[in-house]
């Protein structure tokens, strides 16, 4: 008997749970620093989704969160909701979140065997690289296009988030490694992915 239905059900539950975690972290009071976008715990939850669930499920968890918010539930920062949020200065950060989660998951999946449960520095670097590549890059673009402000001012404004991101990525790495120690089979392995691909190809 195939365990695919059980695996699919577990995946759906994990995706939904982490989407809810992102929502909780988003609606906690933001720290105002005089910029169009405040500091929230969203990035922590987004990167944790990738680091814990892997690239595919982490990506889907963030997409589900964005879809729920776009549909009208108040799960965005400051309890906002609806498509109008994607017209504001935070649009770049929001659109970057699924890509950052997928990148973080991709990198953590490819760490040396057992590193995801033992190496806080490697998981931390995976999150930081993902944040720099996607969150900050698209965040700057969003502020430059939607505030509006020139690109230099947007880069300077975004730099104010760097210290907080370092702290959030460090916290994410500690939590992710602890989760993987408790649930060592949670993260997809390369062998498991190869088996899954073979199962989808008719013999």
| pLDDT tens, position by position, 5-49 | 567 888 999 999 999 999 999 888 666 655 556 677 899 999 999
CA angle in degrees (0–180, nearest 5) for 83-84-85: 90
What pLDDT is stored for residue 35 in this prediction? 58
Q: What is the CATH number of the domain that holds 180?
A: 1.10.1760.20
> Tens of pLDDT along 149-164?
889 998 998 898 898 8
- pTM listed for this prediction: 0.86
Taking the C-alpha atoms of residue 105 and residue 133, their distance in angstroms, rounded to an integer, is: 14
3-state helix, strand, coil in the chain (%, to 5): 75, 0, 25
- Please report which helix (H) or strand (E) contains residue 11, including its range: helix 4-27
What pLDDT is stored for residue 34 in this prediction? 56
pLDDT tier for residue 189 given thresholds of 50, 70 and 90: low
Taking the C-alpha atoms of residue 94 and residue 67, their distance in angstroms, rounded to an integer, is: 11
Res 52 pLDDT > 50: yes
Range of the domain at 49: 4-200
Residue 45: which of 68, 64, 12, 20 has the closest Cα?
20
What pLDDT is stored for residue 107 in this prediction? 96
- The answer for residues whose C-beta is within 8 angstroms of residue 137's C-beta and 6 or more apart is 96
Taking the C-alpha atoms of residue 76 and residue 74, their distance in angstroms, rounded to an integer, is: 6
> Tens of pLDDT along 59-83?
999 999 999 999 999 998 878 889 9
Res 143 pLDDT > 60: yes
Res 193 pLDDT > 90: no
Query: Per the structure, how many domains does the chain have?
Result: 1
> Tens of pLDDT along 85-140?
898 888 999 999 999 999 999 999 999 988 888 999 999 999 999 999 999 999 99
């Amino acid at each position: 008997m195939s365990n695919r239905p059980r695996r699919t059900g577990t995946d759906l539950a994990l995706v939904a749970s982490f989407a809810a975690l992102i929502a909780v972290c988003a609606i906690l009071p933001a720290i105002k620093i005089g910029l169009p976008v405040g500091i929230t715990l969203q990035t922590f939850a987004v990167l944790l989704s990738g680091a814990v669930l892997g690239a595919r499920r982490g990506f889907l968890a963030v997409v589900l969160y964005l879809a729920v918010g776009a549909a009208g539930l108040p799960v965005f920062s400051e309890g906002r909701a609806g498509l109008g949020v994607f017209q504001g200065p935070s649009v770049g950060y929001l659109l970057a979140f699924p890509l950052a989660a997928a990148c973080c998951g991709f990198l953590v999946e490819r760490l040396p065997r057992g590193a995801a449960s033992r190496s806080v520095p490697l998981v931390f670097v995976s999150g930081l690289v993902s944040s720099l590549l996607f969150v900050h890059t698209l965040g700057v673009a969003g502020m430059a296009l939607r505030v509006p402000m020139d690109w230099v001012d947007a880069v300077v404004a975004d730099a104010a988030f760097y210290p907080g991101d370092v702290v959030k990525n460090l916290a994410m790495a500690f939590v992710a490694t602890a989760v993987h120690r408790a649930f060592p089979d949670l993260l997809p392995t390369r062998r498991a992915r190869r088996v899954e691909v073979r199962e989808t190809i008719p013999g």
